[in-house]
């Protein structure tokens, strides 16, 4: 027989909560009746008894006199014999479960009670929070795309350029490529997990490294900015982790649209603090986390080993550090280990792939024009890194951070498209990563004088007009628009997220509210600030949109022409690597300087 539920607010006006619960009860197939606000207690009890209701749900929003009011209601209900056949629950903003229990109600629902909890009470079953828990799964943003060119002219130019790169790379190698090969062929992750002796591997490995890793392996000398985590610390971490895992929950930021997925970076220097950052990011809704390594790591041939903490930004890549962080991730969390810019690019991809990363990050042009690595060296290392990314089925983003030095977007995009085209030919899945940033180009030329929408929209329109590929603006969105003010910073991030969702992109990377603060490490609350902001922006926009002005169209067309011109020049020259040295993809005047790390280390096999 269908259960009958009477709902009545004990307030002069407030009955929204009960209306929502009534809807939930009706959807669960229960019969309900809602009395108007301010119905006298005696009247509620009479209706309940005459109507043979099974359950009475009361609510109280206003706080004054609540205890007396509820106590009087219970007395009246007892006197009338209502409690013999009817279960009474009370909820609302003014109600605390402990007060309800003290007064003798069958259930008390405080603020934050879900409709599902109320339904479970009415149905007389134990409420299991799991039934209301958010189920998240990893999202593969690359798989829906074909990588077919919509702009055939650009497609043909890219083919010419990347075939030339493939031919150039065919007989070349570097110390980084050799280390990656060694890591790929002679380092076994399962053996590492079993703590099997790896001294033979590292003896050989050390020969391919710079002095710092060499001294570490051969003489036991620690890098000056690192220290090994103690046994006590490792044991305590395990306790901390097992306690935390029991209560871990994740939130979902997306509202009605499934995309964009949201990425947070970590790289505090310490893998323990990283884990704390990651768990907060996951809890507050990040879909993926990106591992940031120290800047010196990109300019040092070879990795260190062990459980190492670092005194400055960026967490040292070692098998132990990556393993420890990886095993702490929720099953639904995507994990990216960036490899894009230095002398360990290829080996990073191998190591990340073996340990279980979902994505990586590779860009020859940014790494060699704005991150200090020699163009020839990074081209050969990235060539192999891309092949490993394909092997380990790790899509990777091609970030255009050279925009931050002053390289105009169309040049950075030309470089990004070359790397993406090369990746597709090598069997990998690249993701385009234009910047949503107040870049030097727009500061000087004024494209963002009126708004932050049009130029960012033009970037997405331009890329979409060229190729069917996933797009993941970053990194982070709103870069250089944020200030030290956490409200402004969070809002700016949230507004850029709003634009991203309106443009229908696949993913975004967001910063913390500490983005512009340079005086110390990023704090975890500042990460939560922006995640909350983004969640609210998704909720605000839903399926609605933002309409850019006609400028977006004009700038899109200009960008595409610019990209075509740059690619034509490189195709005509017939030498991609030389074009990087020559400034075709970003000149010294534009702040792009071919890097020196790894200079003269490429050799023919």
Minimum distance from CB of 322 to another protein (Å)? 17
Residues within window 284-323 making contact with another protein, judged by CB under 8 A: 309-311
Q: Which stretch binds another protein (CB under 8 A): 109-117, 422-430, 450-458, 478-486?
A: 478-486
User: CB-based contacts of 594: which residues, under 8 Å, 6+ apart?
Assistant: 368, 369, 374, 375, 580, 581
Q: Binding marks (x or -) toward another protein, 479..518, rule CB under 8 A?
A: ----xxxx---------------------------x--x-
Which is closer to another protein, CB of 113 or CB of 309? 309
Residue 87 CA to residue 112 CA, distance in Å, equals: 21
Minimum distance from CB of 295 to another protein (Å)? 15
Kindly calculate the radius of gyration of the chain based on its CA atoms and give it in whole angstroms: 29
525 is a contact residue toward another protein (CB under 8 A): yes
Which is closer to another protein, CB of 525 or CB of 574? 525
- Are 47 and 4 spatial neighbours (Cβ–Cβ below 8 Å)? no
245 is a contact residue toward another protein (CB under 8 A): no
270 is a contact residue toward another protein (CB under 8 A): yes
Which is closer to another protein, CB of 224 or CB of 520? 520
Q: In terms of C-beta distances under 8 Å and separation of at least 24 residues, what long-range contacts does 580-585 make, across chains too?
A: 580/364, 580/365, 580/368, 580/369, 580/375, 580/379, 581/375, 584/411, 585/365, 585/369, 585/402, 585/407, 585/411, 585/412, 585/414, 585/415
**Reduced to 3 states, what is the DSSP secondary structure of residue 604?**
strand
Residue 61 CA to residue 66 CA, distance in Å, equals: 9
Minimum distance from CB of 279 to another protein (Å)? 10
Which is closer to another protein, CB of 484 or CB of 572? 484
Which is closer to another protein, CB of 272 or CB of 388? 272
> Looking at 126, 146, 519, 547, which residue binds another protein (CB under 8 A)?
519
Which among 37, 34, 35, 14 is positioned nearest to 24, based on CA atoms? 34
Minimum distance from CB of 523 to another protein (Å)? 4
> Looking at 3, 33, 87, 227, which residue binds another protein (CB under 8 A)?
227
Strand order in the sheet with 430-433: 430-433, 396-399, 359-361, 334-338, 288-291, 261-266, 507-510
Minimum distance from CB of 230 to another protein (Å)? 9
- Between CA 88 and CA 98, with CA 93 as vertex, the angle to 5 degrees is 55
Which is closer to another protein, CB of 125 or CB of 231? 231
Q: Which stretch binds another protein (CB under 8 A): 196-204, 231-239, 341-349, 494-502?
A: 231-239
Residue 148 CA to residue 393 CA, distance in Å, equals: 20
Q: Give 7's strand partners.
A: 34, 57
Which among 110, 111, 8, 118 is positioned nearest to 53, based on CA atoms? 8
Residue 211 CA to residue 506 CA, distance in Å, equals: 42
240 is a contact residue toward another protein (CB under 8 A): yes
State the pairing for strand pair 603-604/172-173. Answer: antiparallel
30 is a contact residue toward another protein (CB under 8 A): no
Minimum distance from CB of 291 to another protein (Å)? 14
> Looking at 276, 278, 376, 497, which residue binds another protein (CB under 8 A)?
276
Minimum distance from CB of 308 to another protein (Å)? 10
Which is closer to another protein, CB of 125 or CB of 246? 246
> Looking at 73, 149, 272, 438, which residue binds another protein (CB under 8 A)?
272
Residue 333 CA to residue 138 CA, distance in Å, equals: 6
Minimum distance from CB of 275 to another protein (Å)? 10
Residues within window 328-367 making contact with another protein, judged by CB under 8 A: none
Interface size with another protein, residues (CB under 8 A): 27
245-264 burial code (b ≥16 CB/10 A, e <16): eeeeebeebbbeeebbbbbb
**Reduced to 3 states, what is the DSSP secondary structure of residue 168?**
helix
273 is a contact residue toward another protein (CB under 8 A): yes
Minimum distance from CB of 273 to another protein (Å)? 4
Minimum distance from CB of 445 to another protein (Å)? 29
Minimum distance from CB of 272 to another protein (Å)? 7
Q: Which stretch binds another protein (CB under 8 A): 30-38, 101-109, 263-271, 566-574?
A: 263-271
Which among 134, 116, 114 is positioned nearest to 250, based on CA atoms? 134
Which among 416, 317, 318 is positioned nearest to 367, based on CA atoms? 416
256 is a contact residue toward another protein (CB under 8 A): no
Minimum distance from CB of 280 to another protein (Å)? 8
Q: Which stretch binds another protein (CB under 8 A): 104-112, 227-235, 385-393, 402-410?
A: 227-235
324 is a contact residue toward another protein (CB under 8 A): no
Minimum distance from CB of 515 to another protein (Å)? 11
Which among 427, 366, 369, 424 is positioned nearest to 398, based on CA atoms? 366
Burial class of residue 38 in the structure, from the number of CB atoms within 10 Å of its CB (0-12 exposed, 13-18 middle, 19+ buried):
middle
269 is a contact residue toward another protein (CB under 8 A): yes
Minimum distance from CB of 264 to another protein (Å)? 15
Which is closer to another protein, CB of 271 or CB of 415? 271
User: CB-based contacts of 402: which residues, under 8 Å, 6+ apart?
Assistant: 365, 366, 369, 370, 411, 412, 415, 585, 586, 592
Q: Which stretch binds another protein (CB under 8 A): 170-178, 234-242, 365-373, 567-575?
A: 234-242
Q: Quick check: bond before 260 cis, omega within 30? A: yes
Which is closer to another protein, CB of 245 or CB of 549? 245
Give the interface with another protein as residue ranges (CB under 8 A): 227, 232-233, 236-237, 240, 268-270, 272-273, 276, 309-311, 483-486, 514, 517, 519-521, 523-525
């Amino acid at each position: 027989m269908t259960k009958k539920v009477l709902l009545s607010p004990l307030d002069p006006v407030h009955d929204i909560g009960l209306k929502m619960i009534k809807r939930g009860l009706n959807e669960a197939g229960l019969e309900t009746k809602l009395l108007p606000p301010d119905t006298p207690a005696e009247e509620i009890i009479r209706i309940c008894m005459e109507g043979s209701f099974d359950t009475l749900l009361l609510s109280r929003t206003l706080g004054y006199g609540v205890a007396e009011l509820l106590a009087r209601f219970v007395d009246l209900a007892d006197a009338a014999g209502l409690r013999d056949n009817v279960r009474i629950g009370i909820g609302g903003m003014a109600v605390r479960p402990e007060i309800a229990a003290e007064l003798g109600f069958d259930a008390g629902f405080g603020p934050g009670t879900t409709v599902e909890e109320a339904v479970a009470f009415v149905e007389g079953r134990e409420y299991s929070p799991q039934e209301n828990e958010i189920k998240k799964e990893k999202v593969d943003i690359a798989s829906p795309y074909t990588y077919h060119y919509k702009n055939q002219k650009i497609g043909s130019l890219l083919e010419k350029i990347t075939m030339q790169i493939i031919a150039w790379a065919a007989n070349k190698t570097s110390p980084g490529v050799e280390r990656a090969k060694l890591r790929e062929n002679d380092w076994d992750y399962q053996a590492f997990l079993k703590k099997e002796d790896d001294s033979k591997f590292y003896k050989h490995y050390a020969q391919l490294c710079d002095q710092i890793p060499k001294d570490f392996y051969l003489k036991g000398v620690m890098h000056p900015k690192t220290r090994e985590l103690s046994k006590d610390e490792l044991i305590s971490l395990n306790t901390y982790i097992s306690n935390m895992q029991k209560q871990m929950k994740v939130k979902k930021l997306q509202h009605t649209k499934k995309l964009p997925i949201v990425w947070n970076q970590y790289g505090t220097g310490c893998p323990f603090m990283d884990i704390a950052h990651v768990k907060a990011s996951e809890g507050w809704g990040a879909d993926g986390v990106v591992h940031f390594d120290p800047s010196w790591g990109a300019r040092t041939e070879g990795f260190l080993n062990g459980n190492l903490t670092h005194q400055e930004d960026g967490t040292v890549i070692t098998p132990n550090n990556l393993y420890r962080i990886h095993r702490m991730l929720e099953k639904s969390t995507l994990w990216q280990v960036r490899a894009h810019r230095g002398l360990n690019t290829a080996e990073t991809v191998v190591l990340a792939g073996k340990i279980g990363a979902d994505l990586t990050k590779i860009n020859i042009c940014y790494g060699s024009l704005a991150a200090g690595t020699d163009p020839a060296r990074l081209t050969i290392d990235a060539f192999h890194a891309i092949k490993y990314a394909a092997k380990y089925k790790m899509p990777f983003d091609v970030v255009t951070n050279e925009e931050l030095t002053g390289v105009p977007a169309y040049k950075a995009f030309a470089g990004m498209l070359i790397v993406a085209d090369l990746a597709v030919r090598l069997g990998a899945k690249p993701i385009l990563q234009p910047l949503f940033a107040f870049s030097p180009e727009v500061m000087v030329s004024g494209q963002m004088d009126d708004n932050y929408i049009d130029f960012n929209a033009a970037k997405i329109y331009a890329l979409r007009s060229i190729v069917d590929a996933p797009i993941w603006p970053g990194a982070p969105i709103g870069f250089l628009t944020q200030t030290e003010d956490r409200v402004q910073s969070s809002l700016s991030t949230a507004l850029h997220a709003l634009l991203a969702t309106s443009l229908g992109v696949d993913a975004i990377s967001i910063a913390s509210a500490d983005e512009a603060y340079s005086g110390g490490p990023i704090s975890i609350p500042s990460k939560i600030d922006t995640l909350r902001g983004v969640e609210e922006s998704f909720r605000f926009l839903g399926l609605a949109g933002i309409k850019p002005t006609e400028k977006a169209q004009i700038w899109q067309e200009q960008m595409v022409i610019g990209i075509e011109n740059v690619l034509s020049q490189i195709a005509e020259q017939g030498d991609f690597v030389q074009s990087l040295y020559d400034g075709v993809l970003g000149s010294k005047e534009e702040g792009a300087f071919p890097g020196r790390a790894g200079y003269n280390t490429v050799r023919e096999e």
